[in-house]
Structure 1
Amino acid sequence: MLGKFVAGALVAGVASLWLSSAHAHSIKAEPNDAVQASFDIIETTITTKGKTAVFSTRVRGEAGKDKPDATGKFEGSSVYAYVWPTSLDSGAIGFEKSQGIVALAVTFHPDFDDAANGGKNRHVWHPHWVVLAKDEACGAGLKVVDIPKGAKPKVPATWPGVPLLIDSPDYPTDFKGDRVDVEIPLSLIGGLVGASYDGVTAGLKINGNLHAPLLCVSDVFKVASGNLSLPGKVMPAK
Protein backbone atom coordinates (compact mmCIF):
# COMPACT_ATOMS: atom_id res chain seq x y z
CA MET A 1 0.00 0.00 0.00
CA LEU A 2 2.82 2.41 0.95
CA GLY A 3 4.66 1.57 -2.26
CA LYS A 4 1.63 2.40 -4.40
CA PHE A 5 1.15 5.68 -2.53
CA VAL A 6 4.79 6.69 -2.91
CA ALA A 7 4.98 5.92 -6.62
CA GLY A 8 1.58 7.37 -7.42
CA ALA A 9 2.11 10.52 -5.39
CA LEU A 10 5.50 11.19 -6.91
CA VAL A 11 4.32 10.75 -10.48
CA ALA A 12 1.21 12.86 -9.84
CA GLY A 13 3.26 15.53 -8.11
CA VAL A 14 5.72 15.82 -10.98
CA ALA A 15 2.94 15.92 -13.56
CA SER A 16 1.01 18.67 -11.79
CA LEU A 17 4.07 20.79 -11.15
CA TRP A 18 5.11 20.71 -14.78
CA LEU A 19 1.91 22.71 -15.31
CA SER A 20 2.03 25.03 -12.31
CA SER A 21 4.54 26.88 -10.16
CA ALA A 22 5.64 26.00 -6.65
CA HIS A 23 6.28 28.88 -4.27
CA ALA A 24 8.22 27.48 -1.32
CA HIS A 25 11.85 28.57 -1.03
CA SER A 26 12.55 25.49 1.08
CA ILE A 27 10.61 22.53 2.44
CA LYS A 28 10.49 22.16 6.21
CA ALA A 29 9.29 19.05 8.03
CA GLU A 30 8.43 18.26 11.63
CA PRO A 31 10.84 15.86 13.38
CA ASN A 32 9.56 12.30 13.69
CA ASP A 33 11.03 10.04 16.36
CA ALA A 34 9.78 7.00 14.45
CA VAL A 35 12.33 7.76 11.70
CA GLN A 36 16.03 7.02 12.21
CA ALA A 37 17.58 10.36 13.21
CA SER A 38 20.17 10.42 10.41
CA PHE A 39 17.35 10.14 7.85
CA ASP A 40 14.70 12.24 9.62
CA ILE A 41 14.51 15.22 7.26
CA ILE A 42 13.74 18.57 8.88
CA GLU A 43 14.55 20.80 5.89
CA THR A 44 15.37 20.41 2.20
CA THR A 45 16.47 23.16 -0.18
CA ILE A 46 17.87 23.66 -3.65
CA THR A 47 19.22 27.18 -4.08
CA THR A 48 21.45 29.00 -6.52
CA LYS A 49 24.44 31.17 -5.66
CA GLY A 50 26.16 32.78 -8.58
CA LYS A 51 26.94 30.05 -11.11
CA THR A 52 26.36 27.19 -8.65
CA ALA A 53 23.33 25.27 -7.42
CA VAL A 54 23.41 23.84 -3.91
CA PHE A 55 21.28 20.81 -3.04
CA SER A 56 20.95 20.62 0.74
CA THR A 57 19.16 18.45 3.28
CA ARG A 58 19.15 18.82 7.07
CA VAL A 59 18.17 15.93 9.34
CA ARG A 60 17.37 15.51 13.03
CA GLY A 61 20.57 13.55 13.69
CA GLU A 62 24.02 13.28 12.11
CA ALA A 63 23.78 13.17 8.33
CA GLY A 64 25.57 10.21 6.78
CA LYS A 65 26.14 8.43 10.09
CA ASP A 66 24.17 5.30 9.24
CA LYS A 67 25.18 3.09 6.32
CA PRO A 68 23.96 -0.27 5.02
CA ASP A 69 25.79 -3.39 6.17
CA ALA A 70 28.10 -5.04 3.66
CA THR A 71 26.92 -8.42 2.36
CA GLY A 72 30.02 -9.39 0.41
CA LYS A 73 28.15 -9.70 -2.87
CA PHE A 74 26.47 -7.49 -5.45
CA GLU A 75 23.14 -9.27 -5.79
CA GLY A 76 20.74 -8.44 -2.97
CA SER A 77 22.97 -5.67 -1.59
CA SER A 78 21.61 -2.42 -0.18
CA VAL A 79 21.96 1.28 -0.87
CA TYR A 80 21.07 4.20 1.41
CA ALA A 81 20.28 7.56 -0.16
CA TYR A 82 19.48 11.21 0.40
CA VAL A 83 17.36 12.13 -2.62
CA TRP A 84 16.04 15.29 -4.29
CA PRO A 85 13.27 14.36 -6.80
CA THR A 86 12.78 17.18 -9.31
CA SER A 87 10.61 18.28 -12.21
CA LEU A 88 13.62 18.22 -14.58
CA ASP A 89 13.37 16.32 -17.84
CA SER A 90 15.78 13.41 -18.30
CA GLY A 91 17.15 15.20 -21.35
CA ALA A 92 18.59 17.85 -19.02
CA ILE A 93 20.99 15.34 -17.48
CA GLY A 94 22.18 13.71 -20.69
CA PHE A 95 19.68 10.90 -21.33
CA GLU A 96 16.88 10.73 -23.89
CA LYS A 97 13.96 13.05 -23.13
CA SER A 98 10.87 11.99 -21.16
CA GLN A 99 12.32 8.83 -19.63
CA GLY A 100 10.96 9.28 -16.09
CA ILE A 101 11.42 11.22 -12.87
CA VAL A 102 14.81 12.89 -12.51
CA ALA A 103 16.38 12.93 -9.05
CA LEU A 104 19.75 13.74 -7.55
CA ALA A 105 20.76 11.11 -5.00
CA VAL A 106 23.68 10.98 -2.59
CA THR A 107 24.27 7.29 -1.94
CA PHE A 108 26.35 4.81 0.04
CA HIS A 109 26.69 1.16 -0.94
CA PRO A 110 29.53 -0.98 0.48
CA ASP A 111 29.27 -3.91 -1.92
CA PHE A 112 29.89 -2.45 -5.37
CA ASP A 113 31.40 0.46 -7.30
CA ASP A 114 29.49 2.54 -9.84
CA ALA A 115 31.79 5.50 -10.42
CA ALA A 116 32.47 6.81 -13.91
CA ASN A 117 35.36 5.39 -15.93
CA GLY A 118 35.88 2.42 -13.60
CA GLY A 119 36.51 4.51 -10.50
CA LYS A 120 36.00 3.29 -6.94
CA ASN A 121 33.24 4.72 -4.75
CA ARG A 122 31.88 1.89 -2.63
CA HIS A 123 33.21 3.24 0.68
CA VAL A 124 32.19 6.91 0.40
CA TRP A 125 28.98 8.86 0.11
CA HIS A 126 28.75 10.09 -3.48
CA PRO A 127 26.24 11.73 -5.86
CA HIS A 128 24.28 10.31 -8.79
CA TRP A 129 21.64 11.52 -11.15
CA VAL A 130 18.99 8.82 -11.49
CA VAL A 131 15.84 8.46 -13.57
CA LEU A 132 12.98 6.81 -11.68
CA ALA A 133 9.81 5.09 -12.90
CA LYS A 134 6.91 3.20 -11.38
CA ASP A 135 7.30 -0.57 -10.96
CA GLU A 136 5.01 -2.63 -8.75
CA ALA A 137 7.74 -5.27 -8.41
CA CYS A 138 9.62 -2.86 -6.12
CA GLY A 139 8.85 -2.48 -2.43
CA ALA A 140 8.17 1.26 -2.65
CA GLY A 141 6.73 1.07 -6.15
CA LEU A 142 9.65 2.81 -7.86
CA LYS A 143 12.82 1.71 -9.64
CA VAL A 144 15.81 3.22 -11.33
CA VAL A 145 14.95 2.82 -15.03
CA ASP A 146 16.56 -0.24 -16.62
CA ILE A 147 18.38 -0.22 -19.97
CA PRO A 148 17.24 -3.29 -21.92
CA LYS A 149 19.90 -5.73 -23.08
CA GLY A 150 21.21 -4.77 -26.49
CA ALA A 151 19.85 -1.22 -26.34
CA LYS A 152 22.16 1.69 -27.07
CA PRO A 153 20.49 4.71 -25.49
CA LYS A 154 21.87 8.21 -25.27
CA VAL A 155 23.89 8.47 -22.04
CA PRO A 156 25.97 11.21 -20.39
CA ALA A 157 29.78 11.16 -20.47
CA THR A 158 29.95 10.06 -16.81
CA TRP A 159 27.50 7.17 -17.16
CA PRO A 160 29.13 4.29 -15.23
CA GLY A 161 28.42 1.60 -17.82
CA VAL A 162 25.70 -0.21 -15.87
CA PRO A 163 22.32 -1.11 -17.46
CA LEU A 164 20.49 1.71 -15.68
CA LEU A 165 19.63 5.35 -16.32
CA ILE A 166 22.14 6.53 -13.75
CA ASP A 167 24.94 9.07 -14.00
CA SER A 168 28.02 9.35 -11.78
CA PRO A 169 29.24 12.96 -11.93
CA ASP A 170 31.99 14.09 -9.58
CA TYR A 171 30.14 16.90 -7.79
CA PRO A 172 31.54 18.25 -4.50
CA THR A 173 29.56 16.54 -1.73
CA ASP A 174 29.92 17.52 1.93
CA PHE A 175 28.56 16.02 5.14
CA LYS A 176 28.81 18.29 8.14
CA GLY A 177 26.81 17.72 11.31
CA ASP A 178 23.13 17.49 10.50
CA ARG A 179 23.56 18.53 6.87
CA VAL A 180 24.49 17.13 3.47
CA ASP A 181 25.29 19.55 0.62
CA VAL A 182 25.99 18.95 -3.07
CA GLU A 183 27.29 21.71 -5.35
CA ILE A 184 26.56 21.62 -9.09
CA PRO A 185 27.65 24.11 -11.76
CA LEU A 186 24.46 25.61 -13.21
CA SER A 187 25.94 25.44 -16.69
CA LEU A 188 25.79 21.62 -16.58
CA ILE A 189 22.05 21.25 -15.95
CA GLY A 190 19.58 22.95 -18.27
CA GLY A 191 16.32 24.18 -16.75
CA LEU A 192 17.31 23.83 -13.11
CA VAL A 193 16.49 27.43 -12.17
CA GLY A 194 12.77 27.53 -11.40
CA ALA A 195 12.43 23.73 -11.29
CA SER A 196 10.33 22.09 -8.57
CA TYR A 197 11.70 19.62 -6.06
CA ASP A 198 11.15 17.58 -2.91
CA GLY A 199 13.37 15.75 -0.42
CA VAL A 200 13.41 12.04 0.38
CA THR A 201 15.54 9.62 2.37
CA ALA A 202 15.34 6.05 1.17
CA GLY A 203 16.77 2.57 0.95
CA LEU A 204 17.33 0.81 -2.37
CA LYS A 205 18.20 -2.79 -3.14
CA ILE A 206 19.88 -4.67 -5.97
CA ASN A 207 17.67 -7.47 -7.34
CA GLY A 208 18.88 -10.80 -5.96
CA ASN A 209 18.34 -12.42 -9.36
CA LEU A 210 20.15 -9.61 -11.22
CA HIS A 211 17.33 -9.02 -13.70
CA ALA A 212 15.04 -6.08 -14.33
CA PRO A 213 14.10 -4.25 -12.23
CA LEU A 214 17.78 -4.27 -11.24
CA LEU A 215 17.68 -1.46 -8.67
CA CYS A 216 14.49 -0.92 -6.67
CA VAL A 217 13.50 1.73 -4.18
CA SER A 218 12.77 -0.75 -1.42
CA ASP A 219 11.95 1.56 1.48
CA VAL A 220 11.11 5.24 1.91
CA PHE A 221 12.32 6.55 5.27
CA LYS A 222 10.86 10.06 5.03
CA VAL A 223 9.46 12.53 2.49
CA ALA A 224 10.09 16.20 3.26
CA SER A 225 6.71 17.38 1.96
CA GLY A 226 4.91 14.35 3.39
CA ASN A 227 3.18 13.63 0.07
CA LEU A 228 5.82 13.96 -2.68
CA SER A 229 4.08 16.99 -4.15
CA LEU A 230 7.40 18.70 -5.02
CA PRO A 231 6.42 21.98 -3.35
CA GLY A 232 9.94 23.46 -3.39
CA LYS A 233 11.18 25.75 -6.15
CA VAL A 234 14.82 26.33 -7.09
CA MET A 235 15.54 29.97 -6.25
CA PRO A 236 18.56 32.20 -5.44
CA ALA A 237 19.80 31.82 -1.88
CA LYS A 238 18.46 34.47 0.49
Structure 2
Amino acid sequence: MKHITATAALVLSSILSAFAGPDCDSCKRPKSTVNEADYKIVSASVTHNKKWGQLEFEIIVQGQAGKSTSKPAGKMNGAPVDGYVFPTTLSPEDVGFSKTAGILALAITAHPDFDDTPLWDENGDGDYRNDKIVWHPHWVVLVEDKRVPGGLSVKEFDPADKSVVLPKTNPGMPMYMDSPGFQVVTEGKAIRIVVPDYRVRFRTSFKYDAVAAYMQVVTGEGGEHAKGDNMPMLGVYKVYSVLSKNLSLPYQVK
Protein backbone atom coordinates (compact mmCIF):
# COMPACT_ATOMS: atom_id res chain seq x y z
CA MET A 1 0.00 0.00 0.00
CA LYS A 2 2.80 2.44 0.87
CA HIS A 3 4.49 1.78 -2.48
CA ILE A 4 1.28 2.35 -4.42
CA THR A 5 0.55 5.57 -2.55
CA ALA A 6 4.04 6.94 -3.17
CA THR A 7 3.79 6.11 -6.87
CA ALA A 8 0.38 7.74 -7.08
CA ALA A 9 1.63 10.92 -5.44
CA LEU A 10 4.62 11.08 -7.80
CA VAL A 11 2.51 10.74 -10.94
CA LEU A 12 -0.33 12.93 -9.77
CA SER A 13 2.00 15.72 -8.67
CA SER A 14 2.38 16.59 -12.35
CA ILE A 15 -1.23 17.76 -12.38
CA LEU A 16 -0.25 20.77 -10.28
CA SER A 17 1.20 22.30 -13.43
CA ALA A 18 -2.38 22.94 -14.51
CA PHE A 19 -2.62 25.84 -12.09
CA ALA A 20 0.42 27.55 -13.58
CA GLY A 21 0.06 26.21 -17.12
CA PRO A 22 -1.60 27.86 -20.11
CA ASP A 23 -5.31 28.54 -19.95
CA CYS A 24 -7.37 25.93 -21.78
CA ASP A 25 -8.87 28.54 -24.07
CA SER A 26 -5.43 28.67 -25.69
CA CYS A 27 -5.60 24.87 -26.17
CA LYS A 28 -8.46 25.08 -28.70
CA ARG A 29 -10.99 24.72 -25.93
CA PRO A 30 -14.48 26.02 -26.74
CA LYS A 31 -15.47 29.12 -24.80
CA SER A 32 -16.26 27.85 -21.31
CA THR A 33 -19.86 27.59 -20.16
CA VAL A 34 -18.79 26.15 -16.81
CA ASN A 35 -19.40 27.84 -13.49
CA GLU A 36 -16.15 26.97 -11.73
CA ALA A 37 -17.86 27.04 -8.31
CA ASP A 38 -19.64 23.87 -9.46
CA TYR A 39 -16.20 22.24 -9.63
CA LYS A 40 -14.66 23.73 -6.49
CA ILE A 41 -14.39 20.72 -4.18
CA VAL A 42 -14.81 21.48 -0.48
CA SER A 43 -15.00 17.90 0.84
CA ALA A 44 -15.15 14.28 -0.27
CA SER A 45 -15.67 10.89 1.29
CA VAL A 46 -15.66 7.19 0.48
CA THR A 47 -17.65 5.10 2.94
CA HIS A 48 -17.82 1.32 3.08
CA ASN A 49 -21.41 0.33 3.77
CA LYS A 50 -20.99 -3.17 5.18
CA LYS A 51 -24.73 -3.72 5.51
CA TRP A 52 -25.29 -3.33 1.79
CA GLY A 53 -21.83 -4.45 0.61
CA GLN A 54 -21.00 -1.29 -1.29
CA LEU A 55 -18.64 1.68 -1.44
CA GLU A 56 -20.32 5.08 -1.38
CA PHE A 57 -18.31 7.87 -3.03
CA GLU A 58 -19.33 11.50 -2.51
CA ILE A 59 -17.94 14.90 -3.53
CA ILE A 60 -19.28 18.17 -2.12
CA VAL A 61 -18.65 21.38 -4.07
CA GLN A 62 -19.00 25.08 -3.40
CA GLY A 63 -21.63 25.55 -6.11
CA GLN A 64 -24.09 23.02 -7.52
CA ALA A 65 -22.56 19.65 -8.37
CA GLY A 66 -22.92 18.74 -12.03
CA LYS A 67 -25.14 21.72 -12.83
CA SER A 68 -22.92 23.38 -15.45
CA THR A 69 -21.14 21.57 -18.26
CA SER A 70 -18.94 22.50 -21.21
CA LYS A 71 -20.27 23.70 -24.55
CA PRO A 72 -20.40 21.02 -27.29
CA ALA A 73 -17.62 21.02 -29.87
CA GLY A 74 -19.94 19.51 -32.48
CA LYS A 75 -17.49 16.72 -33.32
CA MET A 76 -15.33 14.11 -31.62
CA ASN A 77 -12.03 15.85 -32.31
CA GLY A 78 -11.78 18.47 -29.57
CA ALA A 79 -14.86 17.21 -27.70
CA PRO A 80 -14.97 18.43 -24.08
CA VAL A 81 -15.28 16.11 -21.08
CA ASP A 82 -16.10 17.45 -17.61
CA GLY A 83 -15.22 15.31 -14.63
CA TYR A 84 -15.19 14.72 -10.92
CA VAL A 85 -12.40 12.21 -10.28
CA PHE A 86 -11.33 9.97 -7.39
CA PRO A 87 -7.68 8.91 -7.90
CA THR A 88 -7.15 5.82 -5.74
CA THR A 89 -4.51 3.38 -4.53
CA LEU A 90 -6.50 0.49 -5.97
CA SER A 91 -4.70 -1.40 -8.73
CA PRO A 92 -5.99 -1.66 -12.32
CA GLU A 93 -6.37 -5.42 -11.82
CA ASP A 94 -8.87 -4.81 -9.00
CA VAL A 95 -11.48 -3.67 -11.54
CA GLY A 96 -10.67 -6.05 -14.39
CA PHE A 97 -7.79 -4.51 -16.35
CA SER A 98 -4.65 -6.50 -17.07
CA LYS A 99 -1.63 -5.48 -15.02
CA THR A 100 -0.31 -2.09 -16.08
CA ALA A 101 1.45 0.90 -14.55
CA GLY A 102 -0.57 3.99 -13.71
CA ILE A 103 -3.13 5.36 -11.28
CA LEU A 104 -6.57 3.78 -11.15
CA ALA A 105 -9.23 6.47 -10.84
CA LEU A 106 -13.01 6.50 -10.69
CA ALA A 107 -14.17 9.36 -12.89
CA ILE A 108 -17.71 10.74 -13.01
CA THR A 109 -18.03 12.44 -16.38
CA ALA A 110 -20.38 14.24 -18.75
CA HIS A 111 -19.72 15.13 -22.39
CA PRO A 112 -22.21 16.56 -24.91
CA ASP A 113 -20.69 15.24 -28.15
CA PHE A 114 -20.66 11.46 -27.79
CA ASP A 115 -21.99 8.47 -25.83
CA ASP A 116 -19.37 6.03 -24.52
CA THR A 117 -21.65 3.79 -22.45
CA PRO A 118 -23.16 1.45 -25.09
CA LEU A 119 -24.40 -1.06 -22.50
CA TRP A 120 -26.31 1.46 -20.41
CA ASP A 121 -29.34 3.71 -20.93
CA GLU A 122 -28.68 6.33 -18.25
CA ASN A 123 -31.58 8.62 -19.14
CA GLY A 124 -34.03 5.72 -19.36
CA ASP A 125 -35.59 6.62 -22.71
CA GLY A 126 -34.89 3.28 -24.40
CA ASP A 127 -32.10 4.67 -26.60
CA TYR A 128 -28.66 3.45 -25.54
CA ARG A 129 -26.84 5.92 -27.81
CA ASN A 130 -28.01 9.34 -26.61
CA ASP A 131 -26.86 9.58 -22.97
CA LYS A 132 -24.10 12.08 -23.70
CA ILE A 133 -24.65 14.79 -21.11
CA VAL A 134 -25.90 12.47 -18.35
CA TRP A 135 -23.33 12.10 -15.55
CA HIS A 136 -21.90 8.59 -15.62
CA PRO A 137 -18.84 6.69 -14.32
CA HIS A 138 -15.62 5.38 -15.83
CA TRP A 139 -12.73 3.48 -14.39
CA VAL A 140 -9.58 4.89 -16.01
CA VAL A 141 -5.85 4.37 -15.67
CA LEU A 142 -4.09 7.74 -15.54
CA VAL A 143 -0.48 8.35 -16.53
CA GLU A 144 1.76 11.39 -16.52
CA ASP A 145 1.58 13.26 -19.82
CA LYS A 146 3.44 16.53 -20.29
CA ARG A 147 1.79 17.17 -23.66
CA VAL A 148 -1.30 18.56 -21.94
CA PRO A 149 -1.53 21.42 -19.41
CA GLY A 150 -3.12 19.20 -16.75
CA GLY A 151 -0.17 16.80 -16.84
CA LEU A 152 -2.22 13.60 -17.11
CA SER A 153 -3.97 11.50 -19.73
CA VAL A 154 -5.85 8.22 -19.89
CA LYS A 155 -3.37 5.48 -20.74
CA GLU A 156 -3.59 4.16 -24.29
CA PHE A 157 -2.52 0.85 -25.82
CA ASP A 158 -1.91 -0.64 -29.24
CA PRO A 159 -5.15 -2.35 -30.40
CA ALA A 160 -2.97 -5.09 -31.91
CA ASP A 161 -1.58 -5.96 -28.47
CA LYS A 162 -3.56 -9.08 -27.55
CA SER A 163 -2.08 -9.18 -24.05
CA VAL A 164 -4.19 -6.20 -22.96
CA VAL A 165 -7.30 -7.18 -21.03
CA LEU A 166 -10.16 -4.77 -20.38
CA PRO A 167 -13.29 -5.23 -18.27
CA LYS A 168 -16.22 -6.69 -20.21
CA THR A 169 -18.08 -3.38 -19.85
CA ASN A 170 -15.41 -1.32 -21.65
CA PRO A 171 -16.64 1.04 -24.43
CA GLY A 172 -14.35 -0.39 -27.12
CA MET A 173 -11.71 2.35 -27.23
CA PRO A 174 -7.92 1.69 -27.25
CA MET A 175 -7.54 3.15 -23.77
CA TYR A 176 -7.55 1.73 -20.26
CA MET A 177 -11.14 2.82 -19.73
CA ASP A 178 -14.23 1.03 -18.51
CA SER A 179 -17.91 2.06 -18.49
CA PRO A 180 -19.14 0.13 -15.43
CA GLY A 181 -22.66 1.54 -15.27
CA PHE A 182 -22.76 2.45 -11.57
CA GLN A 183 -25.54 4.72 -10.32
CA VAL A 184 -24.65 8.43 -10.17
CA VAL A 185 -26.79 10.91 -8.22
CA THR A 186 -26.49 14.70 -8.10
CA GLU A 187 -28.23 16.55 -5.28
CA GLY A 188 -27.50 20.20 -4.57
CA LYS A 189 -23.82 20.53 -3.74
CA ALA A 190 -23.25 16.75 -3.81
CA ILE A 191 -22.46 14.22 -6.50
CA ARG A 192 -22.49 10.56 -5.43
CA ILE A 193 -21.75 7.15 -6.87
CA VAL A 194 -22.21 3.65 -5.47
CA VAL A 195 -19.83 0.77 -6.26
CA PRO A 196 -20.65 -2.82 -5.17
CA ASP A 197 -17.84 -4.48 -3.21
CA TYR A 198 -17.44 -7.30 -5.72
CA ARG A 199 -16.73 -4.81 -8.51
CA VAL A 200 -13.41 -3.96 -6.81
CA ARG A 201 -12.71 -7.59 -5.84
CA PHE A 202 -13.68 -6.73 -2.26
CA ARG A 203 -10.72 -4.33 -1.87
CA THR A 204 -12.58 -1.99 0.44
CA SER A 205 -9.60 -0.45 2.24
CA PHE A 206 -7.67 2.05 0.13
CA LYS A 207 -6.67 5.70 -0.04
CA TYR A 208 -7.93 8.34 -2.42
CA ASP A 209 -8.09 12.01 -3.35
CA ALA A 210 -10.70 14.12 -5.15
CA VAL A 211 -10.13 16.23 -8.27
CA ALA A 212 -12.40 18.23 -10.57
CA ALA A 213 -11.09 18.74 -14.08
CA TYR A 214 -11.74 19.61 -17.71
CA MET A 215 -10.60 17.01 -20.24
CA GLN A 216 -10.60 16.92 -24.01
CA VAL A 217 -10.72 14.28 -26.74
CA VAL A 218 -8.27 14.30 -29.66
CA THR A 219 -9.01 11.95 -32.56
CA GLY A 220 -7.16 13.77 -35.33
CA GLU A 221 -8.80 15.69 -38.14
CA GLY A 222 -9.72 12.47 -39.93
CA GLY A 223 -11.55 11.19 -36.87
CA GLU A 224 -9.17 8.29 -36.24
CA HIS A 225 -6.58 8.59 -33.49
CA ALA A 226 -3.43 7.04 -34.93
CA LYS A 227 -0.48 5.71 -32.97
CA GLY A 228 2.15 8.41 -32.68
CA ASP A 229 -0.32 11.31 -32.76
CA ASN A 230 1.00 14.42 -31.06
CA MET A 231 -1.71 14.60 -28.42
CA PRO A 232 -3.33 11.99 -26.16
CA MET A 233 -6.75 10.65 -27.04
CA LEU A 234 -8.12 11.89 -23.71
CA GLY A 235 -6.03 14.35 -21.72
CA VAL A 236 -6.50 16.68 -18.75
CA TYR A 237 -6.40 20.33 -19.84
CA LYS A 238 -7.53 22.19 -16.75
CA VAL A 239 -7.77 21.34 -13.06
CA TYR A 240 -10.48 23.23 -11.20
CA SER A 241 -9.68 21.91 -7.73
CA VAL A 242 -7.77 19.24 -5.80
CA LEU A 243 -9.09 18.42 -2.34
CA SER A 244 -5.74 17.59 -0.69
CA LYS A 245 -3.93 20.49 -2.44
CA ASN A 246 -0.78 18.34 -2.70
CA LEU A 247 -2.23 15.20 -4.31
CA SER A 248 -0.87 12.92 -1.63
CA LEU A 249 -3.99 10.71 -1.65
CA PRO A 250 -4.29 11.14 2.12
CA TYR A 251 -7.91 10.10 2.59
CA GLN A 252 -8.89 6.63 3.78
CA VAL A 253 -12.10 4.72 3.18
CA LYS A 254 -14.21 4.83 6.33
TM-score by length of 2: 0.77
Structure 1 residue 93: Cα displacement: 1.0
Letter paired with 2:172: G
Aligned to 1:22: none
Q: Is the 8 A contact 1:39 1:61 kept in 2?
A: yes
1:159 partner amino acid: N
**1:202 offset after TM fit, Å?**
0.3
- 2:194 is the counterpart of 1:192: no
Alpha-carbon shift at residue 203 of structure 1 (Å): 0.6
Equivalent residue number for residue 12 of structure 1: 10
Structure 2 residue corresponding to 1:155, chosen from 153, 161, 166: 166
Equivalent positions of 1:1-238 (< 5 A) are 10-12=8-10, 36-50=36-50, 51-117=53-119, 119-120=128-129, 121-152=131-162, 153-190=164-201, 192-207=203-218, 209=220, 210-211=225-226, 212=229, 213-235=232-254
Question: Following the alignment from structure 2 to structure 1, what is the Cα–Cα distance between the partners of residues 72 and 147?
Answer: 24
Query: How far 1:194 sits from its partner (Å)?
Result: 1.7
Amino acid at match of 1:189: V
* CA distance in 1: counterparts of 2:73 and 2:36, whole angstroms: 21
Deviations 1:42-96 (A, max 9, x none): 1011111120100100001100011010111000111000000000110011111
In structure 2, give the amino acid aligned to 1:150.
Answer: A
Deviates more, 1:189-198 or 1:224-233: 189-198
Distance in 2 (CA, whole Å) between partners of 1:158 and 1:122 is 17
Q: CA deviation at 1:36?
A: 1.5
Indicate if the aligned counterparts of 2:207 and 2:253 stay in contact, CA closer than 8 A: yes
CA drift of 1:12 comes to 1.9
Which has the higher mean CA deviation after the structures are superposed, 107-116 or 171-180? 107-116
- What's the offset of the Cα at 1:10? 4.8
Q: Distance in 2 between matches of 1:159 and 1:41?
A: 28
For 2:75 and 2:11, the matched residues in 1 are separated by: 36
Aligned partner letter, 2:184: T
Q: What letter corresponds to residue 39 of structure 2 in structure 1?
A: F
Structure 1: segments with no counterpart, 5+ residues: 1-7, 16-34
| 146-155 or 51-60, which deviates more | 146-155
For this pair of structures, how many residues does the alignment match? 209
- 1:112 and 1:9 mapped to 2: Cα distance? 33
Question: Is 1:159–1:167's contact at 8 Å kept on the other side of the alignment?
Answer: yes
Contact 2:11/2:143 (<8 A) preserved: no
Q: For residues 119 and 145 of structure 2, what CA distance do their matches in structure 1 show?
A: 29
| Cross-structure match for 2:17 | none
Question: Contact 1:102 / 1:131 at 8 angstroms: preserved in 2?
Answer: yes
Judge conservation of contact 1:58–1:180 (CA < 8 Å) in 2: yes
1:62 alignment partner, SS class: coil
Of the structure 1 ranges 57-66 and 114-123, higher mean CA displacement relative to structure 2 is found in 114-123
**Aligned residues of 1:14 and 1:86 also touching (Cα < 8 A):** no
Shift of 1:123: 2.3
Q: Which 4+ stretches in 1 moved above 3 angstroms?
A: 8-11, 116-119
Alpha-carbon contact 1:84-1:199 (below 8 Å) kept: yes
Structure 2 distance, partners of 1:70, 1:108, is 11
